A = this chain, B = another copy of it.
Amino acid sequence: MRTKTVCVSALMGLSLIAMAASPVVAQSKAKKVEQVRPDIKLAPEVEAAKLRDAALKSNEAYEFVSQLTTRFGARPAGSESERNSAVWAAEELKKMGFDTVRIDTFPLALWERGAEGLEITGPFAQKMVVTALGGSGATPPEGVTGEAAIFETYQDFTTSTADLRGKIVVILQPTVRTQTGVGYGVGSGSMRRQGPESAKARGAIGYVMRSLGTEDHRFAHTGATRFLGDEGLPALAISPPDAEQFERLLKLQREGKAGPLRLKLLSTPKFLGNGTSQNVVAEIKGRTRPSEIITIGGHLDSWDLGTGAIDDGAGVAITMAAAKVMIDNKMRPERTVRVVFWGSEEVSQPNDKGLSGAVAYAEKYAIAGSGETHIAAAESDFGADVVYSLNLPKASDETFKATLGNVLFPLNIYADRADSTGGGPDTGPLKTKGVPVFSLQQNGTDYFDVHHTVDDVLDRIDPKKMDQNVAAWAATVWMIANTSVTFAPNPK
């Protein structure tokens, strides 16, 4: 009965529109579960399908991210705007009917962008579109000038023995467009995080890198570099077309038509000492097993350039809405569903400490002796495009993945055969404590067109795609919360 019913739904609608218009599963059972009645026991996957179909019609996530970005704009970690948005979000979560809503504060070091610019002063003078890397160092107010030392890839830079003293390093390595976002990872750890420090060690006076962006429009992408305080090197990202300009100038140099390029680099960020950020933690208490916790969420902070619509207003909105659809349908889960809006995901911190909000959360809520157990955790932090795969850790019940996969298939989502290794950045500190994590992998093909730019605004979000995400999260979380499934601990 259980499997059959879900299969009817799966067969009925391969497109989202067909699903939304044909909630047969929901219709056949919906009236009976308007109130949770322990005497009428429905299969979890039937209820999950009901939540899925309700979510597809909700528009709650889009409305939330619209309000968030409209009211608070950019929400840099530790800023007044981030704090105000947390207070507002907590109020909204209370109004929605979450059982408990808390704001947990934690300390962090503050970095603030200053004036910035880069120009080729000659030959072929030209101004560039730039943005300072988060946590990078400062030039004097008048900037620094030097000859460009240009490298086409990061490896060229690391293997070169060129004398970089007094020079400004320029690295032109592009970011490869991929569905999974793996092309971004290639550059974010090395070129962006380590590059400025390596360049400084070799005597460079500035660092310029091609943005970790896949588009060819004139947006510069910021992002964290290693936080070295006043010891840090001034470091900028240039827009992809500006990197292409350097490529063309390299060609002219090789043809003997241009000499060495002189650059003027300006960046005056400030280190403002310590401040605070905060996590917002909202719970739907489990009906029968409240000490078994499923943590989902996104991060409330954003970079200072855009309004953090896709990074990560979308993630907080999707996970919030997935829980809210349970509340709105008066379906209380057996385990506790906890929605966390982490603070301060984006910024680097002294001594390579980052993810301050995630660390604070894990240290408060995932501790031995608390009487609570984290069954699973996951963050939505990869934009607002559709989910296309489910990645679960190894489950105690071998049929669990297939059954959940069957609920997700009508959303055009497959259950991946591999065990999950992801979970999202803010689950990292939970993972190191052994908490199992899962992923609802979103299509990231276009994510790095916009990521960390001024263009990360509400216009980038398609409401229908948000609803598909919410449906996937609601169904997945419900299934985990209403079965006795457990997952293999994350290898510590």
Contact = CB atoms under 8 A, between A and B. Distances in A.
Interface in A121-146: 124-127, 129
A217 interface: yes
A127 B241 contact: no
B66 A459 contact: no
With a 10 A CB-CB cut-off, give which of A125, A217, A219 has the most chain B CB atoms: A217
A430 B414 CA distance: 66
A81 interface: yes
A244 B74 contact: no
A216 B456 CA distance: 11
B244 A459 contact: yes
Interface in A442-475: 453-455, 457-459
A241 B125 contact: no
Contact of A249 (B70, B240, B457, B459): B70
A71 interface: yes
A244 B126 contact: no
Contacts of A44: none
Contacts of A124: 70-73
A455 B245 contact: no
Contact of A218 (B73, B248, B249, B306): B306
B217 A455 contact: yes
Interface in A206-261: 216-219, 240-241, 244-245, 248-249, 252
Interface string A294-327: 0000000000001100000000000000000000
A71 B120 CA distance: 11
A65 to B, nearest CB: 12
Nearest to A450: B217
Interface in A56-82: 66, 70-74, 81
Nearest to A251: B70
A125 to B, nearest CB: 7
A217 B459 contact: yes
A459 B248 CA distance: 12
A73 B118 CA distance: 14
What's the interface size class on A, roughly? Answer: 20 to 34
Interface string A109-120: 000000000000
B71 A454 contact: no
A216 B73 contact: no
A318 to B, nearest CB: 20
A307 B242 CA distance: 11
Given A218-B454, A454-B218, A125 B244 contact: no
Contact of A217 (B74, B217, B244, B252): B217
A73 B249 CA distance: 12
Given A72-B124, A124-B71, A241-B458, A66 B218 contact: no
A218 B425 CA distance: 27
Contact of A74 (B74, B81, B126, B458): B126
Contacts of A74: 126-127
A357 to B, nearest CB: 22
Contacts of A126: 72-74, 307
Contact of A125 (B81, B455, B457): B81
A71 B127 CA distance: 12
Contact of A73 (B125, B217, B219): B125
Nearest to A245: B70
Contacts of A252: 70
Given A72-B124, A126-B73, A129-B454, A66 B248 contact: yes
A59 to B, nearest CB: 15
Interface in A187-216: 216
B455 A218 contact: yes
B70 A248 contact: yes
A244 B461 CA distance: 14
8 contacts: A70-B249, A71-B124, A72-B124, A72-B126, A73-B124, A74-B126, A129-B454, A241-B459
Interface of A: 66, 70-74, 81, 124-127, 129, 216-219, 240-241, 244-245, 248-249, 252, 306-307, 453-455, 457-459
Given A218-B306, A245-B457, 16 more contacts: A66-B248, A72-B124, A73-B124, A73-B125, A73-B126, A81-B125, A126-B307, A129-B454, A216-B459, A217-B217, A217-B459, A218-B454, A240-B459, A241-B455, A241-B457, A245-B458
